[in-house]
Amino acid sequence: MLRRIRVGDPSAASHSPGAIPGTRRRDFLRQSALLASSALGVRAIAAPGSVSAPRSENLPPNTPRWMKVQGEPVVSAPYGVPSRYEADVIRRATNITPTLWSSWSFTPLQDLHGIITPNGLVFERHHAGTPDINPEEHRLMVHGLVSQPLIFTIEDLVRLPSISRIHFLECSGNGLTEWKAPKEKTVQGTHGLLSCCEWTGVPLSTILDEVGFKPQAKWILAEGADAAAMSRSIPIEKALDDALLIYAQNGEMLRPEQGYPLRLLLPGFEGNMSVKWLRRLKLGEKPFMTREETSKYTDLIGNGTARQFTFVMEAKSVITFPSGGHQLKKRGPYRISGLAWSGRGRIRRVDVSTDGGRNWREARLEEPILTKALVRFRLAWNWDGGPAVLQSRAIDETGYVQPTRDQIVAVRGTNSVYHYNAIQSWQITQNGEVNNVHA
């Protein structure tokens, strides 16, 4: 079982309410407006070279040029795409990939708002590339310790009663580069193997009722239809709890890289267990000890042993603004923003420190606060222009407190790859640069 690390009683930490009182809110807005107005005409738009900086004739009180001509025709593109001014908001591939087919890419968390990840920005992890599957020829086989083995078409599954729920999905290797020393520059690199979507599908328990699983069935082998035949062993308790057979994501059918036409979703469990391109479920008495859960996805410990079947992604948080790669242009008011999540349920509280963990303030959690989903937190902060170290600390509804790096290393050592959930530190220098550090 996954060992929990507790930082202590979160109620003992000093804090103040995250909401800004009326007078302070008005001061914040007034100062922010002054900062924005002083930047007009000199702030360049971050976009490809084909996009120019703002031109003075387009700024108030002038009438901008785009009000003087007709816009693009309605439905100019059959499938909508982002503005060209957002062309830099993309998934980015790892630079340590072994091959072009067994690889991964990262979600640009620093550029997103709210908690939902657009389908085109959801992180990827593949073991043998993305298969091109004809949904009319795809089948889900359910067999093993069942009373009635069955084969389902995608049409069969879509016709069954479905539900939609919002959950995060996180690779167990999220943060793998940060065990020994700060390596990645941005939050996309340190935490970008993380996304959150609205998932639509059929409860796995519905299918298990159909086949009639036998009492001795304690585990389920989930196998994908990719060339790696990606396979994991799933405890029957999880299957009967909140596991879903997913065919749609954020309102549209799954995309190929996300498992089209069918994937498994195990909310709160490490991402590799939510097997994509799902083709087979086999019920058995014991774990199936597949290649993926023996050669990979075990956690090395400092004493030379390893943890196995550490399914749950423990409570975690990260500040996304300001974060690595950002530049604070002026001293004054800023809104610290970030994300928190836990595989054990809802986030109860997030504390934020601007001095490397010496003092903490309670951040405001934005609705909705859902189980096993990202939650957005914010905190008003006035930067005095001096050095600062920003940190966030999540506490979930079970009382689990996100550990410091020293605490997790004391238990796990630094040779592990998976389940790194230590507090992240962003250092702000006197010139406003934001860097990844271990504080």
Per-residue model confidence as pLDDT tens digits over 56-79: 899 999 999 999 999 988 877 889
CA-CA distance, 275 to 318, in Å (whole number)?
A: 26
Beta strands in 155-261 (DSSP E): 163-170, 194-203, 219-224, 231-235, 244-249, 252-253
Length of the chain: 439
The answer to whether residue 385 scores a pLDDT higher than 50 is yes
How far apart (Å, rounded) are the C-alpha atoms in residues 299 and 308?
A: 7
Q: What phi and psi, each to the nearest 5 degrees, are found at residue 187?
A: -70, -25
* C-alpha closest to that of 79 among 120, 48, 37, 30: 120
Over the stretch 142-158, which tens digit does the pLDDT of each residue have? 999 999 999 999 999 99
Q: Give whole-number Cα distances, 17 to 151, 233, 398, 399, in Å.
A: 54, 44, 22, 20
pLDDT score for 95 = 84
Q: Is the pLDDT assigned to residue 3 strictly greater than 60?
A: no
What are the pLDDT digits (tens) for 256-279?
999 999 999 999 999 999 999 999
Per-residue pLDDT reduced to its tens digit, 18-38: 444 444 555 555 555 544 444
Nearest to 423 by CA among 389, 397, 399: 389
195 burial via Cβ count (<10 Å: 0-12, 13-18, 19+): buried
Rounded to 5 degrees, φ, ψ at 94 are -65, 155
pLDDT of residue 119 exceeding 50, the answer is: yes
Going through 82-135 in order, the beta strands assigned E by DSSP cover 92-93, 103-106, 124-126
Same fold, 124-299 and 312-437: no
pLDDT exceeds cutoff 50 at 40: no
With beta carbons less than 8 A apart as the criterion, state whether 280 and 221 touch. Answer: yes
Where along the chain do its domains lie? 124-299, 312-437
Sign of CA dihedral 290, 295, 300, 303: positive
pLDDT in tens, 88-110: 999 999 988 778 888 999 999 99
pTM of the model: 0.87
* Range from 217-221, 299-303, 347-351 carrying the lowest mean pLDDT: 299-303
In the 3-class helix/strand/coil scheme, how is 210-236 assigned residue by residue? HHCECCCCCEEEEEECCCCCCEEEEEH
**Residue 430: CB partners within 8 Å, gap ≥ 6?**
385, 386, 387
pLDDT given at position 151: 98
- Of 27-31, 83-87, 164-168, 416-420, the one with minimum mean pLDDT is 27-31
> What is the SS3 assignment for 426?
strand
Q: What whole-number distance in Å separates Cα of residue 77 and Cα of residue 233?
A: 43
Say which CATH superfamily domain 124-299 falls into.
Oxidoreductase, molybdopterin-binding domain (3.90.420.10)
In b/e form, how buried is each residue of 144-164, taking b as 16+ CB within 10 angstroms? Answer: bbbeeeeebebeebbeeebee
Query: pLDDT tens digits for 288-345?
Result: 999 999 888 998 887 888 899 999 999 999 999 999 999 999 999 999 999 999 999 9
| CA distances, 381 to each of 32, 38, 290 (Å) | 12, 20, 49
- When the candidates are 1.10.1240.10, 2.60.40.650, 3.40.1800.10, 3.40.50.2300, the CATH number that belongs to 312-437 is 2.60.40.650
Q: Which residues is 165 bridged to in the sheet?
A: 199
Spatial CA neighbour of 247 closest among 156, 182, 118, 128: 156
Q: Is the per-residue pLDDT at 118 higher than 60?
A: yes
